[in-house]
Chains A and B, each alone.
Chain A
Amino acid sequence: MNTILEVNDLSMDFGGLRALDHLDLNVVEGEIAAIIGPNGAGKTTFFNCITGICNPTEGEILISPPGKKRNKINGLKPNRITKKGMARTFQNIRLFSNMTVLENVMIGRHCRTSSGIVSAILRGRSTIKEEKDVVDFSYNILKKTGISHLVNEFAKNLPYGAQRRLEIARAMATEPFLLLLDEPAAGMNPQESRELDELITRIRDEDNISILMIEHDMKLVMSLSDRIFVMDYGRKIAQGTPSDIIKNPVVIKAYLGEDIDA
């Protein structure tokens, strides 16, 4: 089992507030891992730190893309980290609302393509081919994520569930080895979240993308995850398989409490 993401002793301060407190976490190749924890536990902040949106106060973040050397990504800009193969979705959906669904996904291809201003103006054969490849690749991802019937809609006109899917599709277009999903099922009805369950499994199995997701929907977390990390007040208070976590008294006390009995 190769560790593809390794986070050591990560801390993040916002002024006086310690949002992450000496956090250790790792993800191994091919797994679906989940982070759970009460509101304000620092889960999104953790994502922001490892994707370069926030600069952590302390600690180190290492990635080892399959088949490549291990390297430290602290302080890199978000776009560089995405290019290295970690892509994310956002908890509060951040699509490009005045672009079409297809164009949103095509943006994900930006870092895997290269044509610049001059080649766009001249529109030579290689540019046309690259453009066509981008369109086909993006359309394929839309088919995979089940929203290909919406290609030409503006992203802002999509129903909520489809917007969540488009976020995933857009991230997948960057060809990541690790996909970070921030509450992918938030706001979905039971039917939609069951379909999401299938989609995430398929992404892992068919596209060989490992997944680290933050999720509040316990049913989804329990059925999907290989391993679960539990956070509270910026610290990791437990980790283990779903069955371990359900039994863990610390977790029950901090977070699951009533949920499990219900």
Chain B
Amino acid sequence: MIKAREIKKSFLVSIWFMFLTFPIMVIRVNPIEKIVEWRWKNMLVVGIGSFLLSFVWRYMLKKKEAGEKRAETGESGKTFLIQRILEERRFYIPLVTGLTIIAVAFPFIFSMYQTSIMTTALMYIVLGLGLNIVVGLAGLLDLGYVAFYAVGAYSYALLNHHFGLGFWSVLPIGAVLGFIFGVLLGFPVLRLRGDYLAIVTLGFGEIIRLVLENWNEFSFGPSGIANIDRPGFFGIQFSLQAASIYLYFLMIGLVIFTIIVVNRLQNSRIGRAWIALREDETACQAMGIDKTRTKLRAFALGATWAGMVGVIFAAKTTFINPASFTFLESAMILSIVVLGGMGSILGVIIGALILILLPEYLRAFSDYRMLLFGAIMVIMMVFRPQGIIANIRRTYKFNE
């Protein structure tokens, strides 16, 4: 099975890796005793490790290619496991019941810290689902999504600071402002395609952040806004503990609401138009779809959701400043969508849970966190570019 050529290839790979990692893995300068340590053992580990891993890598690649070929010739008649679970009621009902029980019990079983992390993860699920409309469904690569998140957060912070407006009255205002900003920014940039759109939205995202950072009279600059009210309930203010549980359930509610909305949208007239636009712009227009309006709708709707979550973010942290709205944040949300699977609701949820919870629980390995993060992304892009869960389209039954 293993040919000499394969061994030679792997051998070269391992030499290359040993060479690359030589300076960091082998040489260590000990400044106290003023000597250089040569850790040859590490080199051996790297060499053998990369030698073996390169076999695994190639095997996986081959397997993937074979799978693609099978899909092309249409031989793979099997439905995916996940699709089956989602379709059959006897799997579906217990699964949903189980999830509901876990979701309800969570804040009462785990500590406030855990609940707070989970709330954050839920916020990213909603952000991911919102961006999923723009990137996953309509195929518009938006790298400035965080701008609308900032709009929402600052609208609550400022309205609360100056006018004492409460959370519940600002939540819809934040959504509307997100929508308005979506339309305003979308109008000029949406005539661009692909990479150009990505760069311009990236620019717009940065502009909003820089404005917030520098316009001291308006946004209090880099020092931000503190003492923002937590959400109340008909005038009742909660203790810290209760407030965090309250926020958790509020987020659960918003996640469910968002799932329903996105699910209804993606099998509607507008949702189909978005997907068609993503697939082929010219054909889409030739079939009678107004390109500009359809894009603008996706962009503005995504922004609406970011605005809403922004309000919740401000209420949760009670302090915001422009540093929370950097490009890294946009990149994170985009990674959730890409990792989870563009256009797939379940995928985005899983993606958000992985990308937000994993780093939290891997704090022990904090040095290697980003390394792991990068490795996951690269591996996904090579082996499963469609994301963890590929988008599944609705099927229709006709009895004739």
A253, chain B: closest CB distance, angstroms: 35
- Answer yes or no: B346 CB below 8 A from chain A CBs: no
Choose the segment among A20-28, A105-113, A186-194, A224-232 that binds chain B (4+ C-beta atoms closer than 8 Å): A105-113
| Contact size range, A | 35 or more
Question: Would A154 and B393 count as touching, CB distance under 8 A?
Answer: yes
- In the complex, the chain B residue whose C-beta lies closest to that of A103 is B272
B80, chain A: closest CB distance, angstroms: 13
- Answer yes or no: B188 CB below 8 A from chain A CBs: no
- Answer yes or no: B88 CB below 8 A from chain A CBs: no
Contacts of B265 in A (CB 8 A): 117, 120-121
Chain B 275-299, CB-CB to A under 8 Å as 1, else 0, gives 1100110111111111100000100
- In the complex, the chain A residue whose C-beta lies closest to that of B260 is A121
Question: Would B264 and A98 count as touching, CB distance under 8 A?
Answer: no
With A96-B279, A97-B279, A99-B279 already in contact, the answer to whether A131 and B288 are too (CB < 8 A) is: no
B276, chain A: closest CB distance, angstroms: 5
A111, chain B: closest CB distance, angstroms: 3
- Answer yes or no: B74 CB below 8 A from chain A CBs: yes
Partner of B285 from the list A77, A95, A116, A130 (CB cut-off 8 Å) is A77
Complex Cα distance A38/B268, Å? 43
- Answer yes or no: B271 CB below 8 A from chain A CBs: yes
Complex Cα distance A114/B304, Å? 22
- In the complex, the chain A residue whose C-beta lies closest to that of B297 is A117
Contacts of A82 in B (CB 8 A): 285-288
- Answer yes or no: A100 CB below 8 A from chain B CBs: yes
Question: Would A110 and B279 count as touching, CB distance under 8 A?
Answer: no
Chain B 380-395, CB-CB to A under 8 Å as 1, else 0, gives 0000000000010111
Contacts of A117 in B (CB 8 A): 265, 270, 297, 301
Complex Cα distance A115/B272, Å? 12
Partner of A121 from the list B261, B269, B288, B394 (CB cut-off 8 Å) is B261
Question: Would B395 and A152 count as touching, CB distance under 8 A?
Answer: yes
B379, chain A: closest CB distance, angstroms: 23
- Residues B342-386 near A (CB distance < 8 A): none
- Answer yes or no: B273 CB below 8 A from chain A CBs: yes
Contacts of B394 in A (CB 8 A): 100, 103
- Answer yes or no: A163 CB below 8 A from chain B CBs: no
Contacts of A109 in B (CB 8 A): 269
With A107-B289, A157-B74 already in contact, the answer to whether A53 and B282 are too (CB < 8 A) is: yes
Complex Cα distance A240/B74, Å? 45
With A94-B282, A99-B276 already in contact, the answer to whether A151 and B287 are too (CB < 8 A) is: no
Question: Would A102 and B396 count as touching, CB distance under 8 A?
Answer: yes
Question: Would B275 and A99 count as touching, CB distance under 8 A?
Answer: yes
Contacts of A110 in B (CB 8 A): 269, 272-273, 287-289
- Residues B237-289 near A (CB distance < 8 A): 261, 264-265, 268-273, 275-276, 279-280, 282-289
Chain B 294-317, CB-CB to A under 8 Å as 1, else 0, gives 000100010000000000000000
Contacts of A174 in B (CB 8 A): 287-288
Complex Cα distance A97/B301, Å? 25
Contacts of A148 in B (CB 8 A): 398
Question: Would B276 and A79 count as touching, CB distance under 8 A?
Answer: no
Contacts of A152 in B (CB 8 A): 395-396
Question: Would A170 and B393 count as touching, CB distance under 8 A?
Answer: no
- In the complex, the chain A residue whose C-beta lies closest to that of B395 is A152
Complex Cα distance A117/B275, Å? 15
Chain B 50-74, CB-CB to A under 8 Å as 1, else 0, gives 0000000000000000000000001
With A83-B288, A111-B289, A117-B301 already in contact, the answer to whether A106 and B283 are too (CB < 8 A) is: no
Partner of B283 from the list A90, A100, A131, A157 (CB cut-off 8 Å) is A90
Given A111-B288, A170-B287, 4 new contacts (CB under 8 A) = A95-B283, A110-B287, A135-B396, A148-B398
Interface residues of B (CB under 8 A from A): 74, 261, 264-265, 268-273, 275-276, 279-280, 282-291, 297, 301, 391, 393-396, 398
Some 14 contacts from A to B, beta carbons below 8 A apart, are A78-B286, A79-B286, A87-B286, A90-B286, A96-B279, A98-B279, A99-B276, A106-B272, A107-B272, A107-B276, A108-B287, A110-B288, A117-B265, A120-B264
Q: Which 9 A-B pairs have the closest CB atoms?
A: A111-B288, A120-B268, A82-B288, A96-B279, A94-B283, A152-B395, A78-B285, A107-B276, A96-B276
